[in-house]
C-alpha cells in the first residue's frame, strides 16, 4: 500500500481534512474548559466552606454560641446587649444557612460539622428571631428554613 493513497488528492479533500482536525481541536478545547470550570466550582465551594468554618469557629462566635446554649434566659428577660449577642449568633448562622440554601456549601457537609449545633441553638434563638421578624419579616429566614426544613428532612 502506498502512502499517497492515504493522503487527500484534491484541495477539497485537504480542506475536509483540515476541518476534521479543527473540529478535534475544538472538542479537545471544550473538554479542557469543562474540566477547568468543574475545578473552579470545586475550589469556590471549598473556599465558601472554609469561610463558613472560619466565621462560625471564630472565638467571639464560639463564645456567644456557648452563652446562648448554657446561660441565655428567656427572650423577654434579655437586656439590649444580650439581645444583640443572640442576634449576632443568629445572623452568623443565617449566613451559613444561606450558603447551604444556594448549594454553595453542601448540606451533608454542613450537617456533619454544625447540624447538631443549629438544632440545639434554634429553640433558644427562635424567640429572638421571631421578635425581629415582626418588623423585618425576612430576618434570618435562611436559618429558620435550615433548622425547620432542611435539617429534619436532610434535603435542600
- Tell me the whole-structure pTM to 2 decimals: 0.72
Between these two residues, 153 and 77, which has the higher pLDDT value?
77
- pLDDT > 70: percent of the chain: 94
Domain contains 38 = no
Mean pLDDT of the chain: 87
Q: How far apart are CA 22 and CA 17, in angstroms?
A: 9
Domain contains 75 = yes
The count of structural domains within the chain is 1
Cα dihedral angle (85, 86, 88, 90), rounded to 10 degrees? Answer: 170
- Domain span at residue 61 reads 47-153
Domain contains 69 = yes
Q: Residue 122 has what pLDDT?
A: 92
Which residues does 146 contact at the CB level (< 8 Å), separation at least 6?
93, 97, 100, 101, 118
The answer on pLDDT for 11 being more than 90 is: no
Of 93, 45, 103, give the one whose Cα is nearest residue 69.
Answer: 93
The answer on pLDDT for 9 being more than 80 is: no
The answer on pLDDT for 65 being more than 60 is: yes
Domain contains 51 = yes
104 phi/psi in degrees, rounded to 5: -80, -40
118-143 residue pLDDT tens: 889 999 999 999 999 999 999 999 99
Q: How far apart are CA 132 and CA 32, in angstroms?
A: 49
Domain contains 42 = no
CB 129 within 8 A of CB 139: yes
Domain contains 149 = yes
Amino acid at each position: 500500500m502506498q502512502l499517497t493513497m492515504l493522503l487527500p488528492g484534491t484541495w477539497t479533500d485537504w480542506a475536509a481534512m483540515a476541518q476534521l482536525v479543527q473540529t478535534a481541536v475544538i472538542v479537545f478545547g471544550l473538554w479542557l474548559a469543562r474540566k477547568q470550570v468543574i475545578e473552579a466550582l470545586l475550589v469556590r465551594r471549598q473556599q465558601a466552606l472554609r469561610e463558613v468554618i472560619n466565621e462560625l469557629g471564630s472565638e467571639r462566635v464560639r463564645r456567644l454560641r456557648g452563652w446562648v446554649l448554657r446561660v441565655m434566659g428567656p427572650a423577654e428577660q434579655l437586656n439590649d446587649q444580650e439581645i444583640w449577642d443572640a442576634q449576632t449568633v443568629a445572623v452568623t448562622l443565617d449566613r451559613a444557612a444561606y450558603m447551604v440554601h444556594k448549594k454553595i456549601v453542601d448540606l451533608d457537609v454542613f450537617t456533619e460539622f454544625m447540624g447538631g449545633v443549629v438544632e440545639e441553638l434554634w429553640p433558644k434563638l427562635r424567640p429572638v428571631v421571631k421578635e425581629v421578624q415582626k418588623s423585618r419579616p425576612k430576618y434570618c429566614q435562611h436559618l429558620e428554613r435550615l433548622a425547620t426544613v432542611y435539617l429534619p428532612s436532610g434535603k435542600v
